[in-house]
Amino acid sequence: MEFGLLQVWEGGWVSAIMRGAAITIAVAIAAMIGGFVVGIICGLIKWGRIRPLTYIVDGYTAVIRGVPELLIIYLLFFSSVEFVTRVATAFGYAGLADSGYAFVIAVIAIGAISGAYSTEVVRGALAAIPQGHIEAARALGLPGPRIFRRIIAPQMLRIAIPGMNNVWQVTIKDTALVSVVGLQELMRTAFIGANTTRHPFIFYLIAAVVYLAITLVSQTGIDQAERLLRLRSRK
Amino acid sequence: MDLDLIRQAVPVLLKGLNVTAMLTFLSVAIGFNLGLGLAIMRISSNRFLSGFAKGYSTVFRGTPLLVQIFLFYYGLGQLPLVKDNAALWWVVSDGARCAVLALALNTAAYTSEILRGGLMSVPAGLIEAAQACGMSRVLRFRRIEFPLAIRQALPAYGNELVLTVKGTSLASTITVLEVTGYAKRLMSQTYAVFEIFAIAGALYLVTNLILITLVRALERRLMRHQQR
C-alpha cells in the first residue's frame, strides 16, 4: 500500500513497462544507426575540410553540442507537427499524427543529436590514422574509393569504438527526453503509471532501474566486443 | 511582424536566462564539492568508501537526468521520511530547488570521474616526496595533489560545465520557467517556432561560449609555467 508495488503488479504495468523499454531500445538503436551514417558523412567532410560543406557541418555540430537537447526536440516537434498534420489531413489520414509519427520524429531528433557527437568521434578517429598509410596507398596507385575501403575505413572504425560507446550511452539516456512529445517509451510509460496509480516514487524508481540495466548490459557487451577486437588485431 | 516578435520574445527569454544561470551556478557550486569528495572517496583504500563512490557514479551516470529529476520532484515527496522532515520537504516541495538538487547530484557523479582521472595522474614520486618532507595528509592534498589534478582535469571539466548548462533545460519539465520553459511557451503561443528556437539557442550558445572561454583562461593561468 505504502509503496504501491502491488498496484504495479496487479495493474498490468509490468508488461507496459517492458513494452516501453522495448520502444526505448528501438528508438536508441535506430537513432544510433542514423546518427552513425550522419557521423561518417559529416566526419569525412570535416576531416577533409571540403570547402562550402565544412562550414555547414561545423555549424550543425556547434549548435547541437551547445544547445539543450530538449530545445532541439521542441523545435523538430513543433515545427513538424503543423506540417505533418496538414499533409496527413490532405491525404485523408487525420489520425496519423498520433500513431507512427511520434516514433519517426523521436528517431529523427535523437538521431540528429547522436549524429553530431558521432561526427566528432569519426573526425577524431580519422585524424588518428597515420598520414603515411594514406600516402603509401596513393603511391601504390590505389584509386580513392579503394583507399577508403581498405585503408581508412578499417582503421577508423577500430579507433572510433570507444568514442562510439560513449555516444551510445548518451543516446540511450537522451531517448528519455522524447517522452515530453508523447512517444510512449519507457519514461512516458512510467509517467502515465505514476499519474494513474498515484505512486510516482515506485514508477520512476522502476524506470531508473530499467535504464540502469540497459546501460550496464550494453556496456558489458561493448567491453566484450572491444576486447575481442583488440585480441584479433594483436595477432 | 518579425521585429515585433523579437521585441516580445527577447525580454522574456532573458528573464529565463537569469534562472538558467542561477540553476547552473548553484548546481555547479554544490556538485563540484560533492564530486571532489566522491573522487577522494573513490581513490581511498577503504573498500566501503570507494565502493560507495563507485556505485553512486554508476547509478547517476547510468540513468537519464530526466528520470532523476522526476524521481526527486514527484517521487520523494511521497515518502513519509521526506514529508516529515522540514528541511528535506523544503527542498523537494519547490521545482527550482528540486532541480538544483538533481542537477548537483548528477554533475557530482560526472565531476567525480573527471577529478578521479586527474588525481590518478599525479605522479607517485611527487606524493612520496611530499610525504618525505613531512607534510600532513591535508597539506599534501592542498598543495600537491589537488593543484596538479585540477590542471589535468580542467579541459574535461569545461565540457561538464556545458553539459550542466544544457541539463538545466530539464528543469522546465518540473514547472521551472527558465530559457527552455519560456521558449516552449512562446513557441506554442506565437507559432514562430524557428525564430524562438534561434533566439533561445543563441542564448545557450553564448552562455556556453563564455563558460568555455573562462575555463580556457583559467587553464592558461594555471599552466603559465609552461609558456615561454
Record: contact A180-B173, CB cut-off 8 A: yes
Q: Which residues contact B199 (CB under 8 A, 6 or more apart)?
A: B6, B9, B10, B13, B183
Query: Residue B184 and residue A194: Cβ atoms within 8 Å?
Result: no
Choose from A27, A73, A75 for mutation: most chain B CBs within 10 A: A75
Instruction: Calculate the alpha carbon distances from B11 to B8, B48, B160, B185 in Å.
Output: 7, 51, 28, 14
Look up the CATH number of the domain holding residue B158: 1.10.3720.10
Phi, psi of A71 (to 5 degrees): -65, -40
Which residue of chain B comes nearest to A198, CA vs CA?
Answer: B78
Question: Is B76 in Cβ contact with A65 (below 8 Å)?
Answer: no
Q: What percent of chain A has pLDDT over 90?
A: 61
DSSP B164-208: HHHHGGGGGGGT--SHHHHHHHHHHHH--HHHHHHHHHHHHHHHH
Is B176 in CB contact (< 8 Å) with chain A?
no
**Number of compact structural domains in chain B:** 1
C-alpha cell at A60: 550543425
Which residues contact residue B220 at a Cβ distance below 8 angstroms, ignoring those fewer than 6 apart? Answer: B227
**Full residue range of the structural domain in which residue B32 is found:** 2-223
Using a CB–CB cutoff of 8 Å, tell me whether B162 touches chain A.
yes
B193, B199, B169, B163: which is closest to B181 by C-alpha? B169
CB contact under 8 A, B193 and A75: yes
Please tell me what DSSP assigns to residue B94: S
Find the CB nearest A208 among B67, B183, B191: B67
Chain B positions in Cβ-Cβ contact with residue A64 (cut-off 8 Å): none
Say how far apart CA B175 and CA A220 lie, in whole Å.
37
B188 and A68 within 8 Å at the Cβ level: the answer is: no
B210 to chain A, any CB pair closer than 8 A? The answer is no
Which pLDDT score, from 0 to 100, does residue A32 have? 96
Q: What is the pLDDT of residues A215-230, one digit of tens each?
A: 999 999 888 888 887 7
Residue B31 lies in a domain: yes
Contacts of A158 (CB under 8 A, 6+ apart): A229, A233
Sign of CA dihedral A164, A166, A168, A171: negative
Assigned C-alpha cell, A109:
531528433
Structural contact between residues A204 and B69, judged by C-beta atoms closer than 8 angstroms: no
Pairwise CB contact (< 8 Å): B62 & A215: yes
User: Which residues in chain A have Cβ-Cβ distances shorter than 8 Å to B197?
Assistant: 71, 74-75
Cα separation, A170 vs A102, in Å, equals 21
Show the DSSP H helices in chain B as ranges: 2-43, 47-62, 65-70, 80-83, 86-92, 95-120, 124-132, 137-140, 146-167, 179-190, 193-222
Show residues of chain B in contact with A190, CB under 8 Å.
67, 70
Residues of chain A found within 8 Å of residue B209, distances taken between Cβ atoms: 66
The owner of cell 593561468 is B221
- The residue behind cell 508495488 is A5
pTM of the prediction? 0.90
At A195, give phi and psi (nearest 5°): -75, -35
Calculate mean pLDDT across residues A17-42.
95
Contact B215, B157 (CB under 8 A): yes
The CA-atom distances, in angstroms, between A72 and each of A58, A182, A227, B174 are: 17, 15, 36, 18
Q: Does B139 touch chain A (CB under 8 A)?
A: no
Query: Would you say how long chain B is, in residues?
Result: 228
Choose among A63, A74, A200: nearest Cβ to B78.
Answer: A200
> What residues of chain B, 83 to 112, have a C-beta less than 8 Å from chain A?
none
Is the residue at B171 inside a domain?
yes
Close Cβ partners of A154 (under 8 Å, ≥ 6 residues apart): none
Residue-level pLDDT at A1 = 45
Q: Which pLDDT score is estimated for A234?
A: 57
Length of chain A in terms of residues written: 235
Sign of the Cα pseudo-torsion (A142, A143, A146, A148, in order): positive
Are the beta carbons of A170 and A102 closer than 8 angstroms? no
pLDDT score of A59 more than 50? yes
Q: How far apart are CA B117 and CA B43, in angstroms?
A: 10
**pLDDT beyond 90 at A89:** no
**pLDDT exceeds cutoff 90 at A5:** no
Q: Residue A92 — pLDDT band, cuts 50, 70, 90?
A: low
A224 grid coordinates: 566484450
CB atoms within 10 A of CB B51: 12
Q: What is the ipTM of this complex?
A: 0.89
- The number of beta carbons lying within 10 Å of the beta carbon of residue A130 is 9
Chain B residue with Cα closest to A209: B63
pLDDT tens per residue, chain B (228 residues)? 578 888 888 999 999 999 999 999 999 999 999 999 999 999 999 999 999 999 999 999 999 999 999 999 999 888 888 888 888 888 888 999 999 999 999 999 999 999 999 999 999 999 999 999 999 999 999 999 999 999 999 999 999 999 999 999 999 999 999 999 999 999 888 888 888 999 999 999 999 999 999 999 999 999 888 876
CA angle (A32 as vertex; A29, A34 as ends), nearest 5: 110
User: Which pLDDT does position A49 carry in this prediction?
Assistant: 87
Q: Which site among B66, B190, B195, B206 would you substitute to test the A interface, given the most A Cβ atoms closer than 10 Å to its Cβ?
A: B66
Asked whether residue B228 is domain-assigned, the answer is no
**Distance of alpha carbon A1 from alpha carbon A188, whole angstroms:** 23
- Kindly report the nearest CA distance between residue B130 and chain A, in angstroms: 36
Q: Which domains does chain A have, with CATH numbers?
A: 5-234 (1.10.3720.10)
- Give the whole-angstrom CA distance, residue A27 versus residue B90: 37
Q: What's the CA gap between A67 and B183, in Å, rounded? A: 13
CA angle at A124 for the pair A120 and A125, rounded to the nearest 5°: 120
B223: CB partners within 8 A, 6+ apart: B151
pLDDT digits (tens, 9 = 90+) for A165-224: 999 999 999 999 999 888 889 999 999 999 888 889 999 999 999 999 999 999 998 888
Residue A80 scores a pLDDT above 90: no
